């Protein structure tokens, strides 16, 4: 029996294809549709199937998938009120994509016969459907802009946070994450607290009305009306809801849960649901429907135990796809963010600060914890900032000036890829060294340091290079010690070259020291570095500006720092030991390095520029060996970053004005 309810008619009236029809006609059209409900993960049809139905999403979320070249990719994500399956009906061709449900969904289905009848009676429907197809194709055509245009609709996400940490820590973390998600993405965000008792910890911490709906309201009001009633809009742009967990918990009434969750999907880009481990048994429906589950924990044992319970509830495959971990480390010493496991360092001083001033935002201001939460917010929003740091010898000092300006503007990279000197600087920053600490190291390197630590470290030529690099390795150990990639605050990739095969090698595991040493091993000058069974040399030989690596690491906004210039842009400069060198009397090393820089420039120019913004410091009066001129180069890096800032800010939603009230300075 066709569903011709007022909800269906209302939905049709809001759909572009049918909104111009008068109500009597909408009733007739609604009668042709039938309602189907399918669980999350259902494949509605496969690519190549015969097209015999049109679908309208009443609630839920749908992914259009393609498997070109044997790899599945998401073509588009559709939500409430959107239509799919129209192309095959219009063209008579087989289905061009597969369709999978990303949430338990209500679909309104129109058979081909009824579709053809409607088309015959209303030819304009075909025009509207063709426009939808064209718009959908246009959304996916520009891979460079994908995910960065803040006006481009993205899929709605449901994130469940189960708090195992102490209440103050867990509540401060959740509030600040939600606020930063609004700030970083400028999308519609709601924070939903699933409360066991009649009080809301989140509303109380924010100083807002903290009473929850009573049992009468829970039983009498329609679910959507109840959610609207409890919504509180904070001046920062965040919506907050505090509801009894019983609203979602009935194992026998899964429909109640997914109706509520789909309402959140339809009205928000991101919904953060906050729960406690005491609710885990009653949240089965929620576990199955959300996109990601995060465990906010102060103990790895707690996390492992709850992970096991959730895995039992939702199944091994679903758990593997959705389960993530967020650790709050009590001493604040061990903190990093990466794509698989996220750790947010926590200091007891944060709790004490909150207890003194009762301001949930000031307690985290200007802390490394806040920076980690900001990065986590960008991960949730799919807006990670990637920074590719290029090769160029001493010209790499400009990177410090660039980082200084980016930090001043609160533009923090979430992913770093470095080649040669870029890997050296990138690894320092990724491990958590401040710009001041990095600058102090740079200023300590002068001509005498280079002579003692590098050029007096000779090797027998049969070793593959004149310089053994032993002293250099000792110096690197003072910076990185035995730190491994998994211990870094920021995900890092170091680029090197396999001297035997000429392959580009991306290093993302093992000791950071070894990766950096390999990436900066200039052939002939330094001995190749044996790492993981390969003889590796300088990464600038194959990828002097590793912007492409950022794509592989999941960066949405890609910034690149290019240090090399064309020969025509370079001029003579002061030599390493302070003697004026004329172009006609270049030394052997100068000739070699200028050859390397020219080759690197040509390689970088020949590669497709996949960076959204490339920062290119102007250094015509400097060369690869001007290590004693750090401060000058740092200043030039600052100038280059200042010049690029307008382009960078134009791509970041963070810099859009969205409200008069700001929570943090």
What are the residue numbers of the active site? 420, 538
Q: How far is 246 from 279, CA to CA, in rounded Å?
A: 10
Give the orientation angle of helix 470-480 with respect to helix 512-519, to 10 degrees.
140
* Cα radius of gyration (the chain): 29
Please give the helix or strand (H or E) that residue 566 lies within, else none: none
The distance of Cα 391 from the centroid of its chain, to the nearest Å, equals: 25
Task: Count other C-beta atoms under 10 Å from residue 628's C-beta.
Answer: 19
Q: Decide: 619 and 626 in contact? Cβ < 8 Å.
A: no
Distances (CA, A) of 112 to 3, 32, 53, 109, 119: 17, 11, 5, 10, 10
The distance of Cα 147 from the centroid of its chain, to the nearest Å, equals: 10
Q: Decide: 427 and 512 in contact? Cβ < 8 Å.
A: yes
Q: Which two tokens stand for residue 419?
A: 């080649």
Q: Decide: 62 and 105 in contact? Cβ < 8 Å.
A: yes
Please give the helix or strand (H or E) that residue 511 lies within, else none: none
Buried b (16+ CB within 10 A) or exposed e, 163-199: bbbeebbbbbbbbbbbbbbbbbbbbebbbbbbbeeee
Q: Which two tokens stand for residue 390?
A: 């290029």
Pairs from 643-648 (Cβ < 8 Å, separation ≥ 24):
643/615, 644/613, 644/614, 644/615, 645/405, 645/409, 647/612, 647/613, 648/411, 648/557, 648/559, 648/613
Which residue's structure tokens are 């015969």?
50
Q: How far is 190 from 272, CA to CA, in rounded Å?
A: 6
Angle at 645 between CA 644 and CA 646, to 5 degrees: 100
Angle at 539 between CA 536 and CA 541, to 5 degrees: 105
């Amino acid at each position: 029996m066709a569903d011709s309810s007022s909800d269906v008619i209302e939905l049709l009236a809001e759909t572009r294809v049918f909104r111009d029809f008068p109500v009597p006609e909408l009733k007739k059209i609604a009668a042709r549709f039938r309602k189907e409900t399918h669980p999350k993960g259902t494949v509605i049809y496969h690519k190549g199937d015969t097209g015999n139905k049109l679908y309208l999403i009443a609630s839920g979320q749908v992914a259009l998938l393609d498997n070109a070249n044997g790899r599945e990719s998401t073509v588009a994500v559709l939500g409430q009120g959107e239509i799919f399956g129209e192309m095959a009906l219009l063209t008579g061709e087989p289905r061009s994509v597969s369709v999978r449900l990303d949430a338990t969904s209500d679909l309104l289905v129109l058979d081909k016969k009824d579709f053809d009848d409607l088309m015959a009676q209303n030819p304009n429907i075909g025009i509207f459907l063709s426009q939808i197809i064209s718009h959908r194709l246009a959304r996916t055509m520009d891979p460079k802009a994908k995910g960065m245009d803040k006006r481009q609709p993205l899929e709605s996400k449901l994130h469940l946070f189960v708090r195992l940490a102490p209440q103050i820590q867990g509540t401060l973390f959740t509030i600040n994450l939600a606020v930063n998600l609004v700030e970083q993405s400028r999308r519609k965000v709601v924070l939903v607290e699933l409360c066991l008792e009649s009080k809301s910890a989140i509303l109380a911490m924010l100083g807002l009305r903290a009473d929850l709906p009573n049992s009468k309201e829970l039983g009498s009001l329609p679910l959507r009306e109840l959610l609207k009633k409890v919504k509180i809009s904070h001046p920062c742009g965040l919506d907050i809801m505090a509801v009894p967990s019983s609203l979602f918990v009935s194992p026998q009434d899964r429909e109640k849960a997914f109706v509520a969750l789909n309402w959140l999907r339809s009205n928000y880009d991101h919904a953060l649901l906050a729960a406690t481990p005491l609710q885990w048994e009653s949240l089965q429906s929620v576990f199955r429907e959300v996109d990601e589950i995060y465990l906010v924990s102060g103990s790895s044992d707690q996390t492992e135990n709850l992970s096991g319970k959730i895995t039992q509830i939702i199944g091994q495959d679903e758990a593997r796809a959705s389960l993530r971990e967020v650790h709050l480390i009590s001493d604040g010493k061990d903190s990093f963010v990466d794509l698989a496991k996220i750790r947010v360092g926590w200091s007891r001083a944060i709790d004490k600060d909150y207890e003194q001033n009762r301001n949930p935002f000031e307690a985290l201001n200007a802390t490394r914890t806040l920076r980690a939460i900001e990065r986590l917010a960008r991960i949730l929003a799919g807006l990670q900032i990637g920074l590719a740091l290029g090769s160029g010898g001493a010209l790499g000092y400009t990177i410090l000036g660039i980082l200084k300006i980016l930090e001043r503007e609160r533009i923090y990279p979430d992913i770093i890829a470095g080649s040669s000197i870029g890997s050296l600087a990138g690894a320092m920053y990724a491990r958590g060294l401040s710009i001041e600490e990095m600058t102090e190291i740079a200023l300590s390197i002068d001509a005498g340091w280079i002579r003692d630590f590098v050029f007096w470290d000779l090797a027998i030529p049969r070793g593959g290079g004149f310089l053994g690099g032993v002293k250099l390795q000792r110096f690197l150990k003072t910076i990185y010690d035995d730190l491994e990639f998994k211990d870094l605050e920021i995900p890092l990739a170091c680029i090197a070259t396999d001297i035997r095969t000429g392959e580009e090698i991306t290093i993302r595991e093992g000791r950071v020291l070894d990766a950096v040493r390999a990436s900066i091993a200039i052939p002939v000058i330094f001995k190749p570095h044996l790492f993981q069974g390969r003889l590796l040399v300088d990464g600038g030989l194959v990828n002097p500006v590793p912007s492409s690596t950022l794509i592989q690491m999941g960066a949405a906004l890609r910034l690149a720092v290019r240090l090399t210039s064309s020969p025509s842009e370079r001029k003579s400069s002061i030599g390493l030991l302070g003697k004026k060198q004329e172009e006609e009397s270049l030394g052997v090393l100068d000739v070699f390095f200028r050859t390397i820089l020219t080759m690197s420039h040509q390689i970088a120019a020949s590669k497709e520029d996949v960076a959204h913004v490339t920062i290119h410091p102007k250094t015509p009066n400097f060369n690869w060996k001007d290590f004693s001129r750090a401060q000058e180069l740092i200043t030039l890096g600052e100038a280059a970053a200042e010049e690029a800032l307008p382009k960078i800010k134009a791509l970041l939603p963070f810099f859009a004005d969205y409200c008069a009230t700001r929570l943090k300075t």
